[in-house]
Amino acid sequence: MKYNLKKEIPILAMVVLPFIYLGYLWNALPEKVPLHWNFKGEIDGWGNKDQLVLIILVLPVFVYIILQFIPLLDPKKKIEKMGNRFHQIKFLVVLTMSLLAIFILYTVQNQSGSNMKILFALIGFLIVGLGNYFPTLKPNYFIGIKTPWTLESETVWKETHKMGGRLWFFGGVFMILLVLVLPEELSFIVFMSGVALLSIVPVVFSYSRYKALKG
């Protein structure tokens, strides 16, 4: 897959955005800043503000690099056949990582507890977006619901991603609404339970469909 700079510019802009925001905040930040929060959103770890650069590198930059190299590692070149769809998924993932980085920087700037509801909602946004793409994904080794049974059977792959797409889309929307209206601690329980459910159900479904097809 050839590198198309013109198509990559919107994604690169998302990668750079947290660095611009950090540069804007830099002189106003103290040397010691909050760097870790517990599940209640309370600060439980501090560090040097230089470490904020690592947070940005780990989120949008590292994720972008991984997604950029995935097509090169694909032995059967399935990713290349996705064309613009893979590019759209890459934009969605990098956008979410950049928003997470900006949210962390904003929380650091205010030196306050982290609003975990916003964090959960951002991840929910990614789940909804991926769910929207699932039904259109072709079998591959890198993106989608990759179980031994979906990779073994194209029929199981299609059925699992059709079901999983609806589950992730509507489940993600429902999860976002719940975490935004429920109390903080209950939001954490709902979020973790939702993620577990969205992960386990497609795996069980793919296994049951594979067994049914094999008779």
Q: 96-139, pLDDT tens digit by residue?
A: 999 999 998 888 887 665 678 888 999 999 999 999 999 999 89
Mean pLDDT, the chain, as a whole number?
Answer: 89
Rounded to an integer, what distance in angstroms lies between the CA atom of residue 112 and that of residue 114? 6
| Inter-CA distances, 102 with 24, 58, 73, Å | 12, 13, 30
* pLDDT tens digits, 155-197: 999 999 999 999 999 999 999 999 999 988 888 899 999 999 9
Domain extents in the chain: 1-114, 115-215
CB 191 within 8 A of CB 39: no
Rounded to an integer, what distance in angstroms lies between the CA atom of residue 173 and that of residue 178? 9
Q: Tell me, what's the pLDDT at 93?
A: 96
CA dihedral 128, 139, 8, 132 (to 10 degrees): -20
Q: Tell me, what's the pLDDT at 114?
A: 61
What are the strands, taking DSSP E only, across the chain?
Answer: 32-37, 43-48
Q: Where are the alpha helices (DSSP H) in 134-183?
A: 148-152, 154-181
Q: Tell me, what's the pLDDT at 1?
A: 58
Q: Tell me, what's the pLDDT at 184?
A: 80
